[in-house]
Chains A and B, each alone.
Chain A
Amino acid sequence: MFFWLNRFDKVDVPPICFGKGISEKIQDKLREKVEGKCTGRYGYTILVARVVKIHPGRLDVVTGHAHFGVDYQAIVFKPFKNEVLPTEVSLVTEQGFWCQAGPLEIFVGTEGIPKDYIFNPTDKLYSSEDEDKLIRKGSACRIRILGMTVDADKFKVVGTMKGPYLGPDQ
């Protein structure tokens, strides 16, 4: 799910940036710090939408850097267990398929695919028994998130398409 989130972060600014235009440099440093990054707490930070307030800086007597607290609003993507969301299939294998929802990659293993779907190794797709529904690269598929862990820079998510109203072309 995408969220509009109010956040606070501290930014470290070296002395060379002090002076005119420091506000822009603080914002640049903030974007470098959080944009495109993933944490277990906030999920994927897509981008910083608006800087609300830059607090007065505090000088580090050891390094000479200044630390600024910044209130800002960001667009984030955070997945949740049991969340249902539309995805786009990116890779199909005999062990299951990978699909994408924004920055999030989800793996659906064979245990998450109904038994009546058959893998076609030539065309690299799964097709339903009546060949009415296909799971192939680029197709849309509605998934429920079963579980996830957070690695250094991304979520590892497992999903399923078993269940009513889940699967392709929903």
Chain B
Amino acid sequence: AVILEQNPRRCAGPHRRMDSKEDASQLKLGEEFKDARCLWNAEVAVILEQLMGRAGNKLKSLAMVEDTLAYVTKFKNFRNKADVQEARKFAAEEIEKGVIEGFEMAVINNCGILNEEEAMELIPTLNDKFQNREGELQDFLDQLTERFSE
């Protein structure tokens, strides 16, 4: 059934909300992103290649997609979909156990972080999780990075 509306149009401009409390160093990602799935560069590459293969030149944001694909291809750590899925399976188990957050895992992957000291320096929230647990973070990083195929 069709419902008639009197004034459905609202005055709306581009949404420019800027939350100054958002801060990656404290894992404050805002309401919209706190539960959203962080994508690794390799995953974005797989998804974009598939969708471009289907939609091709019909994409409205073709230039942005091409630039993004070039970027994630340059900075990905996995050669193909199978390698990504295997690493993601390992990552999901660790996230489920509360060892690490999705955002932290994505930064480690996307930046290709190999050692404990580097991870703690670049991702301050890991300091609290792994304080006084020397070696555990390095073990985790070794298990993750041995899955890198690029």
- Chain A residues within CB distance 8 Å of chain B: 1-6, 31-32, 35-37, 39-42, 44-47, 49, 57-63, 67, 75, 77-78, 80-86, 88, 100-103, 140, 142, 144-145, 149-150, 152-153, 163-166, 170
Q: In the complex where A2-B41, A101-B71 touch, is A41 in contact with B15 (Cβ < 8 A)?
A: yes
Q: In the complex where A4-B37, A82-B24, A165-B121 touch, is A61 in contact with B107 (Cβ < 8 A)?
A: no
A-B contact number at CB 8 A: 153
**Chain B hits for A140, CB < 8 A:** 74-75
**Chain B hits for A82, CB < 8 A:** 23-26
The answer to whether A40 touches B17 (Cβ under 8 A) is yes
- Chain B residues within CB distance 8 Å of chain A: 2-9, 14-18, 22-26, 29, 32-33, 36-41, 43-44, 47-48, 51, 59-61, 63-65, 67-68, 71-72, 74-75, 103, 106-107, 110-113, 118, 121-123
The answer to whether B59 touches A47 (Cβ under 8 A) is yes
> Shortest distance in angstroms between B49's beta carbon and chain A's nearest beta carbon?
12
The answer to whether B61 touches A36 (Cβ under 8 A) is yes
The answer to whether A170 touches B111 (Cβ under 8 A) is yes
Residue in contact with B6 in the complex, picked from A49, A61, A83, A153, CB distance below 8 Å: A61
**Chain B hits for A46, CB < 8 A:** 44, 48, 61, 64-65, 68
> Shortest distance in angstroms between A60's beta carbon and chain B's nearest beta carbon?
5
Residue in contact with A61 in the complex, picked from B5, B33, B43, B47, CB distance below 8 Å: B5
**Chain A hits for B37, CB < 8 A:** 3-4
The answer to whether A84 touches B23 (Cβ under 8 A) is no
Name the residue among B32, B36, B61 with the largest chain A CB count within 10 angstroms: B61
**Chain B hits for A62, CB < 8 A:** 6-9
Q: Which residue of A lies closest to B119 (CB)?
A: A165
The answer to whether A59 touches B4 (Cβ under 8 A) is yes
**Chain A hits for B110, CB < 8 A:** 1, 85-86
**Chain A hits for B65, CB < 8 A:** 46-47
A-B contact pairs, 24 of them (CB 8 A): A1-B38, A1-B106, A2-B40, A2-B41, A4-B36, A36-B61, A37-B61, A40-B15, A46-B64, A47-B51, A47-B59, A47-B61, A58-B8, A60-B5, A60-B8, A63-B9, A67-B5, A75-B39, A81-B24, A84-B123, A103-B64, A142-B111, A164-B121, A170-B112
